[in-house]
A = this chain, B = another copy of it.
């Protein structure tokens, strides 16, 4: 445990502190409220110090999008463990909407903010086949494939079905976050359930 290691560790710790403070600011006041000064105040360092760990505000934001996306995937993990594929679709959808409501600013940051931040993650999702099953959309595609193989769903492209299921749920979540009073008042779990029922009925063989 030399001096170098301790320094490395402390540096990483401060980096994490920065990210945690930034995440807290976004969670409380939204992405636009994220400024270097506020982060610096929160961790009780000077703004200049932040630039020793991140090149710019955008770099912090991008890291937060990555972390946020991981949190979303983590939140959906239990649902992906459900054995019955049809029940799994429901469970995944429920978990997805739960996350959107529980961490609205994180959800917003990932999917509704600047395309500059969301796109890199999404494109990685599209191109990176290194961790099949570990990404959110793969949960859905895999499950849809299972339902297709069992003849429960009509023969349609699995990726298309998954994309439509996803985007439909996103529609509810996004509308709720952009206009909390209409057309969905209160919790979106019920409309989410109704939507999934309709969609799955429409997809059945």
Contact = CB atoms under 8 A, between A and B. Distances in A.
Interface of A: 111-113, 115, 118-119, 122-123, 125-126, 137, 156, 159-160, 162-164, 166-172, 174-175, 177-184, 191, 194-195, 197-203
A198 B154 CA distance: 10
Number of copies: 2
* Interface residues of A, dominant DSSP: helix
Nearest to A198: B202
Most chain B CB within 10 A, of A111, A112, A179, A181, is at: A179
B168 A167 contact: yes
Contact of A175 (B167, B175, B195, B201): B167
Nearest to A157: B194
Interface centre among A112, A125, A178, A184 (most CB of B within 10 A): A178
Contacts of A180: 115, 119
20 contacts: A111-B174, A113-B178, A115-B177, A115-B179, A118-B179, A122-B183, A125-B182, A126-B183, A160-B191, A163-B191, A164-B172, A164-B191, A166-B175, A167-B183, A167-B191, A167-B195, A168-B171, A170-B175, A199-B199, A201-B203
A164 B195 contact: yes
A168 B195 contact: yes
A90 to B, nearest CB: 14
A181 B122 contact: yes
A161 B29 CA distance: 33
Given A123-B182, A174-B170, A184-B163, A202 B197 contact: yes
B179 A122 contact: yes
A198 to B, nearest CB: 4
Nearest to A176: B167
A143 to B, nearest CB: 16
Closest A-B pairs by Cβ, 9 of them: A171-B171, A202-B202, A201-B202, A198-B202, A163-B183, A167-B171, A168-B168, A170-B171, A122-B182
